[in-house]
Amino acid sequence: MKIVIYPGSFDPIHNGHLDVIERAAKLCDKMIVAVAKNPGKTGLFSTGERLGLIEEVTSHIKGREITTFDGLLVDFFRETGAEAVVRGLRAVSDFEYEFQMALMNRNLLDDLETIFLVPSQENIYLSSRIIKEVARFGGDIDGFVPPIVGKALREKFS
């Protein structure tokens, strides 16, 4: 069974994440979407809220599992017996950070392969940070997030 992990903050999940999840799910038998619990980083959504939103918007994807992890990704990777980690690569600006993470992870665990997937063009510029900023000031975010996430964002900022 081929297992891949898609780790991230997902605060909140947006169409770019969903695009990567749908593409990655086609490449494996089990796709684990893993929300990192970062004690040093308080997000807009609680971990429980993030999980709930991911559950809802990925319900159509076969073989997906949603969970959290804390500590190092390599330790979680070992526990799950995954084959690879998937990350979305949007633009050149992502490259350095993603490259650093991939190399650090491989340094920590030689067996850990990182696969980069490129989302479709309309999702390439999306980031949770920018979407939250637009939502905070009442901008239209409907094209960037699934409806239930849009509703959750509007509630946060109402």
Note whether 101 binds ligand PNS by CB under 6 A.
Answer: yes
* Residue 41 known to be catalytic: yes
Q: Which of 9, 50, 128, 132 is catalytic?
A: 128
Write the DSSP assignment of 141-153 as a string of letters. Answer: -TTTS-HHHHHHH
Q: Does 104 bind ligand PNS (CB under 6 A)?
A: yes
Query: Which runs of consecutive H residues, i.e. helices, occur in 81-144?
Result: 92-108, 128-136
- Number of residues in contact with ligand PNS, rule: CB under 6 A? 9
Q: Which is nearer to ligand PNS, 8 or 12 (CB)?
A: 8
C-beta of residue 63 within 8 angstroms of C-beta of residue 38:
no
Nearest to 5 by CA among 103, 115, 91, 106: 115
Residue range at the interface with ligand PNS (CB under 6 A); choices 55-63, 98-106, 114-122, 136-144 = 98-106
Peptide bond into 12 cis (omega under 30): yes
Minimum distance from CB of 158 to ligand PNS (Å)? 25
Q: Does residue 72 bind ligand PNS (CB under 6 A)?
A: yes
Tell me the backbone φ, ψ of residue 129, rounded to 5 degrees: -60, -45
62 versus 90: smaller Cβ distance to ligand PNS: 90
Is the CB of residue 16 less than 8 Å from the CB of residue 123?
yes
Give the residue, chosen from 15, 58, 105, 123, that forms a contact with ligand PNS under the rule CB under 6 A.
105
By annotation, the residues acting in catalysis are: 17, 41, 90, 128
Chain residues that interact with ligand PNS, rule: CB under 6 A: 7-9, 36, 72-73, 101, 104-105
